[in-house]
Structure 1
């Protein structure tokens, strides 16, 4: 698989040069004339940073995730919010995820080859947990993907695509294995882990939390399996924002949040009218954080999703709101998973009558409070909760809307949940709209169910690509994930 590894992994060489002397992002001094062997700590830093940089870049999260979640609407590049995929962005996203996967897999290979690292067991487990996260993002974005043969360097340059259902089963098994392997009493990374600084207990908590994410995603297609997994893992999952899995950027190039506007004002996006109107309707105190006032009149005003720049009814740009300054700050963290998501997963589980220790309303309110806490809201929370009460008979819409807000700015995860729950406003009215000026993909008038495979797969891995496309009903944006039954 050497050819495929070079295709996916060449950016890692650059990352190693940039980061070979740093076990943490703040250790940036290194003599480039001295050769540096690839060490697990360096590989971990590069994998975490590379994944977060692409997960939260303007090109991937902005033009894909935040659009498909309908958090933002395009200003200058309306085609993206009308579902025309930029193939360069799509290819970079696919490749970057596999780059990080190769780095993580290399950690395990190095430790297994050496056989004398007392921290190997915990290091390998941490790498395995991160691989589960990346693979889930990939399969939820594309459905069937190279998985079981994807990282076999030198053995297979045209890996088969695995079935999404089988991938999910393997990811669940893998997390169970890593949970068992993690041992807080044994050595771990002594540097290089920007997310948890090698804290084994925190990584175990994250693994249980990711089990909840995997399980709730399959709740409609495999409810018994989902119930079993959630009931077995909820007590050991995240309990507060103190457990959040976040990649903390330093605020200085090259280690600042990818969407930072410190060096230039980012004019690509306005917040969507969908987001603004709903948050205004429920007096959500997070709105001034999620969006800036429009320059023309200091009001927060969203742009209709997918409204063309040539539409005669569209106002001048100064009349619309850009995303909030915190979202564009250089120290905004990259988020892997947070406690509000866990709370809303458990609220849904309880609403489905599964045993998670507390009623759905309790977790629902915990999710809202934790999201407010994350964004620094300290007043008016009780009043807000009273205005958006939990309703058991409408749990899908009630939980769906609040979970959607709590996932901001995790565009990809919010998009996946939009597809899975197909939620509306709690009163039953539609929350989302089709692109205002029409979709550029007539097969997808409302929202894409997936990303199409990168164009390079059609030529570099043609046979496997075609089999994968046939298996999911065609390589189109309307082909659904296995778990998407709504």
Structure 2
């Protein structure tokens, strides 16, 4: 019913909404509880939305291809920048109907049950979802979306206002957290450890602050001044990474589930080339050795379907098992990302500290995430090609951060747009005249069901096209 309510709300069909309410009254089961259990809601909310984030539509068929972590070896249209309308619609529907709606309900339950920790977690997860949505689409429904009874057709907020709103919401969430009492259940991300939820919330605040810093430096610096120096409340250790560790089927990683019936994807040549350039020990972690070769072989993004197929499934490399195994974790925020954030913040004056030292810690955290030995870490950092270059910090940080976010298509895509590194070639037979996508287009349902607000958003932001540059993405 959540999805039905959302669609009807966007349509503004008051008569249908009233009919729906009557049907709800008729269909109530007198033998079932009408009270939603917060632990069940939290478990389902985390699982459903991480599945969307790490799944086919938001990752495998779009962001992982755009940022050239993966490439397609068959059915290559998405890799040529021709996304399926169903993918665009599914991302939007899932995040709004399963994400925003469920975590808004959890926030309300936190108040009803006088448990501020449930409320804090609801705010944090909903903020993460809104951050993902605005990163991907730009201007999105935000301030009115959680009030469907009041706003049947929610307006699109400007991206700047969404980010600033999320910074305020996450600060509120941290203030609500009480680690010593008010335990929560159903937490499959951090097992009820509210100190780790605080670290996740603060780390998200720094991610957003850095993302807006090219346009709103003063606002960003306020956040870094407040929380950037206290590493006890940030994700600086891989043991604190925000990640969902999957189980065996039917609760397996969505990448593994996809591999049960499909074999569409390979590691991108762009990643393989960069890993080889750096003599990077993650090469044999990120990519698998094909059956018919003795080395990792990536494929060029955006090949025509017949050209890609001729390369051969057994002569090209699938993504490594750390990403494709049933129990592979879906990472939402890792320690390497936070340390790269601090390194860049130190470089540009948002935060005191030595940028080079923080950069080395970030690279180390990424390598140690995959159990690279200390000796290999030391040798890797000693290479001239890897050494931090303050004169071109965007290249140093951009390339290494891109590698550290491998597999996390949405965040990797956002940071590649912001830093403009690494320098990636457009898809070989891309559909955008030699350009790479800079956003995802809005789903067609918005034009039909929320047309007035959709048109206002397009007028404000620019054409509803893959190549329209978003507010945070400074040229």
- TM-score normalised by length of structure 1: 0.88
Aligned residue for 1:440? 431
Cα distance 1:350–1:3, how it changes in 2: closer, same or farther (>3 A)?
closer
Q: Distance in 1 between the 2:444 and 2:460 partners?
A: 18
Give the C-alpha shift of residue 420 in structure 1. 0.4
Contact 1:273 / 1:301 at 8 angstroms: preserved in 2?
Answer: yes
Give the C-alpha shift of residue 36 in structure 1. 7.2
Aligned residue for 2:191? 197
Give the C-alpha shift of residue 77 in structure 1. 2.0
Aligned residue for 1:247? 244
Aligned pairs for 1:163-174 (under 5 A) are: 163-174=158-169
Aligned residue for 2:223? 229
Moved more, 199-208 or 313-322: 313-322
Aligned residue for 1:352? 348
* 2:210 corresponds to 1:213: no
* 2:390 corresponds to 1:392: yes
Gapped regions of structure 2 (runs ≥ 5): 10-30
SS at match of 2:165: helix
Aligned residue for 1:472? 461
Aligned residue for 1:129? 124
Give the C-alpha shift of residue 49 in structure 1. 0.6
Per-residue CA distance 1:247-272 (angstroms, 9 max, x = gap): 1212231x111111597264111111
Give the C-alpha shift of residue 178 in structure 1. 1.2
* 2:407 corresponds to 1:415: no
* 2:173 corresponds to 1:175: no
Contact 2:71 / 2:302 at 8 angstroms: preserved in 1?
Answer: yes
Q: Distance in 2 between the 1:61 and 1:259 partners?
A: 10
Give the C-alpha shift of residue 479 in structure 1. 1.6
Aligned residue for 1:362? 357
More helix by share: 2
* 2:227 corresponds to 1:238: no
Q: Distance in 2 between the 1:312 and 1:341 partners?
A: 33
Query: How many residue pairs align between the two structures?
Result: 447
* 2:152 corresponds to 1:160: no
Q: CA RMSD in A?
A: 2.1
* 2:375 corresponds to 1:376: no
Aligned pairs for 1:250-329 (under 5 A) are: 250-253=247-250, 255-260=251-256, 264=260, 266-311=262-307, 315-329=311-325
Gapped regions of structure 1 (runs ≥ 5): 10-32, 425-430
Give the C-alpha shift of residue 96 in structure 1. 0.9
Contact 2:237 / 2:365 at 8 angstroms: preserved in 1?
Answer: yes
Contact 1:400 / 1:421 at 8 angstroms: preserved in 2?
Answer: yes
Aligned residue for 2:5? 5
Aligned residue for 1:22? none
Q: Distance in 2 between the 1:342 and 1:403 partners?
A: 10
Aligned residue for 2:99? 100
Aligned residue for 1:23? none
Contact 2:73 / 2:308 at 8 angstroms: preserved in 1?
Answer: no
Q: Distance in 2 between the 1:199 and 1:126 partners?
A: 11
Q: Distance in 2 between the 1:91 and 1:391 partners?
A: 42
